[in-house]
Amino acid sequence: MSQEFSPDPVKNRARHTLLTKLAANTTNPAAAELARELLAGNVTPRGVLSSTSYADLLAGSTSGFTEWYGNLSESEKDAQAEAGRNALSQLASDDKPAPSRRRRQDSVDDEDFSEVDWLDG
């Protein structure tokens, strides 16, 4: 079962696209495995963050991002935020509505991410 990450089809497609690219990454097998597990619905984003299984991977990535972002000027940060908004707008203009899938209601372990917005901070 493929994981649905957002009720917004544009954001959901952006997340799937990002995770699909990450899953094909041959230079970082741990990141690729994490992406495949997320795409398959075998692990949730919250489960990743609360588990120690991917702690080293996340710590390294978070540290690199924090350093990069911390070195940006305010105008560069604004430009990066604008680039992100533009990318989402582009996805929205290219978006073709996908068929809606109904979530199984019989599983207690299914976690609803419809209210979680990973892209907006």
Reply yes or no on whether the pLDDT at 121 is more than 50: no
Q: What's the confidence (pLDDT) of residue 32?
A: 92
Cβ-based neighbours of 104, under 8 Å, separated by 6 or more: 110
Collapsed DSSP state (helix, strand, coil) of residue 42: coil
pLDDT band at 120 (very low <50, low <70, confident <90, very high): low
Domain ranges in the chain are 9-93
pLDDT digits (tens, 9 = 90+) for 44-98: 888 888 888 888 888 877 888 888 889 999 999 999 999 988 887 777 676 555 5
CA gap 117, 14 in Å, rounded? 12
CB-CB contact of 96 with 22 (8 Å): no
What is the phi/psi pair of residue 12, to 5°? -65, -45
Q: What's the confidence (pLDDT) of residue 100?
A: 52
Q: What's the confidence (pLDDT) of residue 55?
A: 85
Question: Smallest Cα–Cα separation from 116: which of 30, 46, 29, 55?
Answer: 46
